[in-house]
Amino acid sequence: MAFLAMVAAVPAGAQSPAIAGDRDNAWGVSAKRYGLAEYFSVDAYPGLLASAQNTATEKADGEPPAQTTLSDPSIKYTVSDKPYVVLKRGPIQIVVVDNSEVNDPVVLPVHKAGYNGIGSLTYEKQARNLFKSNYGGLNFEYIFDGSAQAEDIFFEPRKAPMQLRVINDTTAELCQAATPYWGVESATRYELLEDGTIEMTFECIPHRATWKNDYLGFFWASYIHRTESLDIHFIGPKDGGGTEWVRGITPAHGVKATHRAVDDSREFAADPAFPLTLAFNFSDHRFTEPWYLGEARGMAYVLMFRPQDQIRFTQSPKGGGSGNPAWDFQWFISQPKVGQRYQMAMRVLYTPLPEGDPAAARKQVRQEIGKIMP
């Protein structure tokens, strides 16, 4: 699909009712299945129970609901004349940036080329950027299939040009034509929702059968700047039954780096010389709920995923350099088909940590997660 030069004025927050309805359906799951039933609020998430019986994201034609300009040509946008755009809603402000270098001393100083995604994430009471500003967060970093390749091939999402499309003052997309090697065309939508979360929707179409091991893997990274703790926290199974909090710790980059769901038994082939050590170096932990949080400067950074996307959590203690951890995730397409559109969606909650006992604070954040997560 060629990039289209569509230009139109769109009212702030405007959205197609059909798109909003499709999003509710795409996020609909059974709360009881993931042990969060006591936290879910129908009022806080309209359509949750109505859509719980329809957990599949695919429509009758085998493709997911159209959510981006890649799949819905009726969505109007303007092409940004800068490599970044500032989006703000309520207490949250983000700077969406393409693969260009940016050196705006006010908005985004010394941001390196290739680190697409969210260059800056701030909160009204925490003006310091959560991310290391020269890197950023939710960076679409690499595509892989388990084969040994040159670094530039893995990192095509960082290398190939992107077009920054502004939908309205709370929504923007990064669109990338089919990449030179993998042949994957994609659109990544960032939207600030009314409930205070950031929703990221990724859609892609493989245009050539370039994979060698019958799957495609996609990797996103968030480079956290000088946080007090390098670790992440999630809910996992407890010996003897039930669940408990798990502290995810990785001793070194690429060592016990990836955490899988309790029911994730998928096996993806990889060459002995496959160099991306983060992808398949598994920890001893499993998670029971599809979200995790990290803590930084009195704030919780929570990454929440749809169960049907079967995301894997990944972390590095120094992905952004010493003292700057990377809190990451992976998504896989098994047996991809040329010309088929695929979709992954997730949400970010960036919220102040309640003061006092850390365990009590995490419990309270978990309650907030239950109100806004499917």
Locate the domains of the chain by residue range. Answer: 72-372
CA angle 134, 138, 141 (to 5 degrees): 80
- pLDDT at position 17 is 40
Ranges in the chain, pLDDT < 70: 1-61, 374
How far apart CA 165 and CA 174 sit, in angstroms, is: 6
- pLDDT at position 61 is 59
CATH code that applies to domain 72-372: 2.70.98
pLDDT tens digits, one per residue of 7-50: 333 333 444 444 455 555 554 433 333 334 333 333 333 333 33
- pLDDT at position 322 is 86
Contact indicator for 196, 341 with CB cutoff of 8 Å: no
How distant, in Å, are the alpha carbons of 34, 58, 310 from that of 261?
A: 11, 22, 8
Instruction: Report CA 147 to chain centroid distance, whole Å.
Output: 24
Contact indicator for 329, 374 with CB cutoff of 8 Å: no
pTM, rounded to two decimals? 0.86
Which of 186, 167, 169 is closest to 79 using CA atoms?
Answer: 167
For the chain, where are the alpha helices, taking DSSP H only? 17-27, 151-154, 156-159, 277-280, 358-372
pLDDT tens digits, one per residue of 344-354: 999 999 999 99
